[in-house]
Amino acid sequence: EAQVTQNPRYLITVTGKKLTVTCSQNMNHEYMSWYRQDPGLGLRQIYYSMNVEVTDKGDVPEGYKVSRKEKRNFPLILESPSPNQTSLYFCASSSTIAGVKNEQYFGPGTRLTVT
């Protein structure tokens, strides 16, 4: 089954304690991206990756890091989480062959609470 998986699905942590949210896709997609969803603000793009070892900032990258060492994985790293990073996070992937932007497949979401 084609899917994007995220772990953990729920996480409560404390300020300053480094954490990683994993994302994996099994569709051999070149493009992967992270979003955060906050009430009244919709979905905002944090980082994206066009392919292995190629990443770039989205609109709200502050406080986050990513890496793309393998095509299937795109972890989101919060080195020193703060309460304003409490949010619902989605990972997504899509195929972008020849520049055509196909639909993004989204993971189930990770609800993060930073106290």
Partner 1 sequence: AQKVTQAQTEISVVEKEDVTLDCVYETRDTTYYLFWYKQPPSGELVFLIRRNSFDEQNEISGRYSWNFQKSTSSFNFTITASQVVDSAVYFCALSVIGTYKYIFGTGTRLKVLA
Of residues 82 and 102, the one with the C-beta less far from partner 1: 102
29 and 4 Cβ atoms separated by less than 8 Å: no
CA–CA dist 71, 107 (Å, integer): 16
Binding site for partner 1 (CB under 8 A): 31, 33, 35, 40-45, 48, 50, 56, 58-59, 88, 90, 92, 96, 99, 101-106, 108-109
Closest-CA residue to 66 (of 52, 50, 47): 47
CA–CA dist 31, 12 (Å, integer): 29
Q: What is the nearest approach in angstroms of partner 1 to the Cβ of residue 42?
A: 4
Q: What is the nearest approach in angstroms of partner 1 to the Cβ of residue 15?
A: 26
Of residues 17 and 101, the one with the C-beta less far from partner 1: 101
Of residues 1 and 40, the one with the C-beta less far from partner 1: 40
Q: What is the nearest approach in angstroms of partner 1 to the Cβ of residue 111?
A: 9
